[in-house]
Chain A
Amino acid sequence: MQAEEIIHQKEWYQLSENERKFLTELAANEQEYNLLKKMLQVSAEETSEVPLLSEKRKLSLDAIANKNKFKSNRLVWYAAASIALIAFSTLLVYNYNSTTRYPASVASRAPVEDLPKTENKVIEENNDTIQTTTGLSYIVSDSKRRLKSNSSGKTINAQTALPFSNERKYIAVNTTINADPRLLLLVTEVY
């Protein structure tokens, strides 16, 4: 048992010899023993002097607890909204990029040159060329030559030589300088 427990529970005359020896340093005589006993008694009685805790503190605590719950729920909603927004934005950007990459799906504004029919003997003799309205001639690609060799000797025009209008692989060659006055002027100036 502790010193203070002995002092609290027993009177001086109730102490055993061992207990008195044990408490000598604290209480050498009955007066000192009683003083300590009274001090412990007064200390214990101080409990009754403590006021009651105010009820409003509990209400404040409940308000704080509810506020924290709302805050955590709000964060969840913000996170979900952010994810949805990012997903939607990604979808929009992807859709836009795919449209730009494949212009075939959009109507082209580039002028399509319509190669006219030609009756030029030079052209007829040279089955590899086709003359345009600007005086330039095109050498038809090998695949088209093969096609022409199979033909019945009709005049070649862009439509017959070119079954596929988007497969134009030509090299432009000027067969007649006189046909192009600009070229004639250029040559004259140079030489």
Chain B
Amino acid sequence: MALRNVSYTAYSDELLLPLIKAGSNSAFDEIYKRYSQKMFSYFFRMLWKNKELAEDCTQELFVKLVKNAGMFELERNFSTWLYSIANNMCKNEYRKKDTRLNHLAMVKNTNTTTDAVNPDLKRFKLAVHSCTNELAEEKRSLYILRFQENLSVPQISSILNIPEGTVKSRIFYLLKEMKEKLKEFETLHIYP
């Protein structure tokens, strides 16, 4: 039987998975500690800032992790594997059309609070949030993974299962699109 008091802090993610598969609660606790908030953050941003839904998805993700621990290929990076499962879960949520429409309406009606003193800066932040929410699923995923999760191009390529060249190209055109949508703010006093 696994001992709860064993510390796996020094273990890599890939070494913890076989232990989780064997039923080690301590190994699972360590993985949970490392990735729970990160994955919750990803779900929160991907799923229209719905806290309950993001928490449900996070819980489901870790249940899937325990069930599928044996299917992980050791030569693969654990983090990207986890993100790819999370990304697929988000796709399933997006496919639920009614849910998506309700959430879009909810986000439009919600005033996102910002702590910006400058009103122009405040408006600019709201505009960025709005643009991000209106992005299509693939672009939104790319935006979050690159500009908010700060993942590298090779990692994103592995998660989304597309070539690195395609990732770079899509990021480039995404920036261009965002810039066009925020053009009105070019001349405003929003820069420090």
| Chain A residues near B (Cβ < 8 Å) | 2-4, 25-27, 31-32, 34-36, 38-40, 42-44, 46-47, 50-54, 57-58, 60-62, 64-65, 68-69
Contact = CB atoms under 8 A, between A and B. Distances in A.
B58 A53 contact: yes
Contacts of A53: 36-37, 40, 55, 58
A38 B191 contact: yes
Given A53-B55, A58-B36, 17 more contacts: A2-B168, A3-B172, A4-B175, A25-B176, A26-B176, A27-B179, A32-B186, A35-B179, A36-B178, A38-B190, A42-B125, A43-B128, A43-B132, A44-B147, A46-B148, A52-B37, A64-B63
Given A32-B186, A38-B190, A58-B36, A4 B171 contact: yes
21 contacts: A2-B168, A3-B171, A3-B172, A4-B171, A25-B176, A27-B179, A32-B179, A32-B186, A36-B175, A36-B179, A38-B190, A42-B125, A43-B128, A43-B132, A43-B148, A46-B148, A47-B148, A51-B51, A57-B36, A62-B25, A65-B66
A60 to B, nearest CB: 6
A54 B55 contact: yes
Contact of B55 (A31, A38, A57): A57
B23 interface: yes
B78 interface: no
A39 B40 contact: no
Nearest to A50: B41
Interface residues of B, number: 42
Given A3-B172, A4-B171, A61-B32, A39 B58 contact: no
Which of B124, B175, B182 has most A Cβ within 10 Å?
B175
Main secondary structure of the interface of A (DSSP, over half): helix
A61 B60 CA distance: 9
Contacts of A61: 32, 59, 62-63
Nearest to B150: A44
Contact of A26 (B28, B58, B172): B172
A46 B113 CA distance: 11
Nearest to A54: B55
Interface string B26-43: 001000100011001100
Contact of A69 (B23, B40, B63, B147): B23
B83 interface: no
Contacts of A3: 171-172, 175
B32 A58 contact: yes
Chain B CB count within 10 A is highest, among A27, A36, A50, A52, for A50
Contacts of B176: 25-26
B153 interface: yes
- What are the 6 A-B residue pairs with the smallest beta carbon separation, nearest first? A53-B40, A43-B147, A50-B41, A31-B186, A42-B128, A57-B59
